[in-house]
Structure 1
Amino acid sequence: MPDPAIDLAYLKARLDDLLDTPSPTGFTDEAVRLLCRELERLGLDYEMTRRGAIRARLPGRDATPARAVVAHIDTLGAQVKQVKANGRLEVVPIGHWSSRFAEGARCTIFSEGGAWRGTILPLKASGHTFNTEIDSQPVNWRNVELRIDAVTHDRDDTLKLGVDIGDIVAIDPQPEFLDTGYIVSRHLDDKAGVAVLLAALECLIREERTPTVDTWWLFTIAEEVGLGASSVLVPDVAAMVTVDNGTTAPGQNSSEFGVTIAMADQTGPFDWHLSRKLVQLARDHGIPHQKDVFRYYRSDSASALESGADIRTALLAFGIDASHGYERIHESALSDLARLLIAYVESEVEIGRDARPMSSVAGFTRQPLS
């Protein structure tokens, strides 16, 4: 078949919709509903776990050994730790991110009293009051507080608003889609990955392309706190490709352009055979790519394996600058990644033995020793 024509306008529109829908871990229901509506519009059958992780099946020429592609809906955020005597809020992070990036962030507190707007500020926010202490105060979550945009002078005033301990705080993404192709926003991890999966699906359906085997498209809701794909897999899945961000930073080989194929993260190497298959597919289809190894990184792949799934896993990434901060990506990398996903689901199965969860050594893989 001809090369797939990824609809970049569709991809960016879906990303914009996702960014406009708050979904910090633990508060993902509306983003899940948004995705369900889009899957229905594409004509895909799907099912959900109790808490909202989604799996949709795109039938292949054969049923097994089935493949899966996964991205996560949930993002970083914060949660109310304490209502302070001055009426402001102490917050703790949801997921791992620095309070340095929280300082100055506009946000929404979702409480029993409704949604309240606010700003996360350093404890010493005024240079006119604290002079150089605004630069010398420590950078940590105990040194920031959330100022609510409501008339509240003390703890009792805030509690009367319905705001209390445990309330979820969603950080404004502030997205910009630039003419240069750059996209700058919070929460591109991993809403850009979700948009890539949708764009690949849309292309497969529009161009009537059939995967080699059944392919499950998974959307998880708790990856940022380490749970991810621990409860959404089906038994027939033998291999899973995770789509997430790749960190472009000193000492890393990731790039904002092309596809980054991760060979390992902090949980260890990804599957030797599946990772090299993806590298070869990128070469065969002329898709720009690079390899990388991540030291302080885990993904849906790790949670699936830790939950006991005996599957091959790999990680494809779009390069992201300032990950878990105010992030930047390039739209061309998203398009390249969608193309590689389509190449993968259309590729032939090379390890037929994987169709069975247990078997003999017959047909088992080999790794060259010389």
Structure 2
Amino acid sequence: MKKVITLLEQLVSIPSPTGFTKDIVNWIETYITDLGYDVHKTNKGAVIVKVHGARSDQARLVTAHVDTLGAMVREIKADGRLKLSKVGGFNWNAVENETCTIFTRSGKTYRGTILMHQSSVHVYAKSGQTDRSDDNIEVRLDEVVTSRKETAASGIEVGDFVSFDPRFEHTSSGFVKSRHLDDKASVALLLTLLEECKSGKETLPVDTYFYISTNEEIGYGGNSSIPEHVSEYLAVDMGALGDGQASDEFTASICAKDSSGPYHYELTSHLIQLAKDHSIPYKVDIYPFYASDASAAVSAGIDVKHALCGAGIESSHAYERTHEKSLEATYRLLHCYIQSPLV
């Protein structure tokens, strides 16, 4: 897990809100190329890598998404501060008081903090009761600007991307805390798995495609550019934790159903049986407000058996956390899956 966590820290340090993923895709392309693989990039900016198997007439695909939550500048206010528009689905209170970076189209970057306009309790008596909404959340720029004109003169414009700082931490007790574990934890697992495949110790039973997608948070990540002979599609994404959920931070989470409907029964059962056969800690779960690249692919008409698994992530779409044990269990499950026969 040392390699996985080192990779994860590198990945979360590269800003990549959906729609602004060029830098991280270039980083991933270089990383995979250095391993000795050929990389195909889609028009959407995704990365696809083929690992040759014993049979080339059959194939499976595993995917994780590298795009994250973020925001765009919606308006420059009269006082020079910024109103935001969300990129992805999250609550404003999840990023309130978070530091951030604004990326202008000219290449300049600026620092700021996401705050309630009515933050000061010494001025606003109902600060705590005021809605955390598009109208009340703003970015306080770390620049000497006090008017719309001064902020505009800096080069900041409507439509500029805003990335939230990850605040990565790996504790001595094995927890990993950071924003954007969704889904860079899974990307770190797939990159590590690709490196292991390159070792040449064993040949996979069928051609296996690794797909790093870039638009999952807005609903259409890995739903295109799927090779025709792919019959199984496994999305590796976070397991959702909370009241009523079976998943936790110490096991691999296998999703039987989310808001898009049930996942393929036989393929999901195959993952469960692999976990049992290899003594991999796991939980089967239903994610009530969730969809994945696998469900997006099926909705787009791709004829595949689809399934979903991943590490259990606490406080999804906020300041997230998981544990080494969950990452390890998920990695072991993925390793067993790509070595297994097709369902």
Aligned partner of 2:41 in structure 1 is 48
Once the two structures are superposed, residues 15-59 of structure 1 have per-residue CA deviations (whole angstroms, 9 ceiling, x without a partner) of: 111011000001000100111111112111120012310100111
Aligned partner of 1:209 in structure 2 is 202
Aligned partner of 1:79 in structure 2 is 72
- Kindly indicate whether residue 55 of structure 2 is the aligned counterpart of residue 62 of structure 1: yes
Aligned partner of 2:25 in structure 1 is 32
Contact 1:57-1:215 within 8 A present in 2 as well: yes
> Which of the numbers 292, 296, 315 marks the counterpart of 2:289?
296
Amino acid at match of 1:173: P
1:297 & 1:348 partners in 2: Cα distance? Answer: 29
Once the two structures are superposed, residues 158-197 of structure 1 have per-residue CA deviations (whole angstroms, 9 ceiling, x without a partner) of: 1001101111000000110111110001000000010011
- Kindly indicate whether residue 322 of structure 2 is the aligned counterpart of residue 329 of structure 1: yes
> Which of the numbers 72, 83, 93 marks the counterpart of 1:100?
93
Aligned partner of 1:123 in structure 2 is 117
TM-score normalized with structure 2 length: 0.98
Amino acid at match of 1:263: A
Contact 2:18-2:67 within 8 A present in 1 as well: yes
For residue 294 of structure 1, report the CA deviation from its aligned partner.
1.1
Aligned partner of 2:13 in structure 1 is 20
Aligned partner of 1:361 in structure 2 is none
Contact 2:223-2:296 within 8 A present in 1 as well: yes
1:207 & 1:134 partners in 2: Cα distance? Answer: 60
> Which of the numbers 299, 308, 311 marks the counterpart of 1:315?
308
Once the two structures are superposed, residues 189-213 of structure 1 have per-residue CA deviations (whole angstroms, 9 ceiling, x without a partner) of: 0000100111222223236221110
The alignment's C-alpha RMSD in Å is 1.1
Aligned partner of 1:250 in structure 2 is 243
For residue 234 of structure 1, report the CA deviation from its aligned partner.
1.1
Gaps spanning 5+ residues in structure 1: where?
A: 1-7, 351-370
Q: How many residues align?
A: 342
> Which of the numbers 225, 229, 232 marks the counterpart of 1:236?
229
Specify the SS of the correspondent of 2:53. Answer: coil
Amino acid at match of 1:124: Q
1:308 & 1:343 partners in 2: Cα distance? Answer: 28
Higher CA-based Rg: 1
1:259 & 1:284 partners in 2: Cα distance? Answer: 14
Amino acid at match of 2:196: C
For residue 349 of structure 1, report the CA deviation from its aligned partner.
2.7
Aligned-pair identity in percent equals 38
Structure 1 segment 88-237 matched on structure 2, within 5 A? 88-113=81-106, 114-131=108-125, 133-206=126-199, 208-237=201-230
Amino acid at match of 1:145: E
Contact 2:232-2:342 within 8 A present in 1 as well: no
1:103 & 1:281 partners in 2: Cα distance? Answer: 41
1:96 & 1:349 partners in 2: Cα distance? Answer: 34
Aligned partner of 1:275 in structure 2 is 268
Specify the SS of the correspondent of 1:25. Answer: coil
Specify the SS of the correspondent of 2:228. Answer: coil
Contact 2:81-2:139 within 8 A present in 1 as well: yes
Amino acid at match of 2:246: N
Identify the range of structure 1 (255-264 vs 200-209) with the bigger mean alpha-carbon deviation: 200-209
Amino acid at match of 1:227: Y
For residue 230 of structure 1, report the CA deviation from its aligned partner.
1.6
> Which of the numbers 287, 298, 308 marks the counterpart of 1:305?
298
Once the two structures are superposed, residues 280-334 of structure 1 have per-residue CA deviations (whole angstroms, 9 ceiling, x without a partner) of: 0111111000100111000101111122100000001211110000000011211
TM-score normalized with structure 1 length: 0.91
1:270 & 1:311 partners in 2: Cα distance? Answer: 11
2:141 & 2:313 partners in 1: Cα distance? Answer: 31
Gaps spanning 5+ residues in structure 2: where?
A: none
1:305 & 1:175 partners in 2: Cα distance? Answer: 34
1:310 & 1:51 partners in 2: Cα distance? Answer: 21
Amino acid at match of 2:114: I
For residue 276 of structure 1, report the CA deviation from its aligned partner.
0.2
2:262 & 2:273 partners in 1: Cα distance? Answer: 18
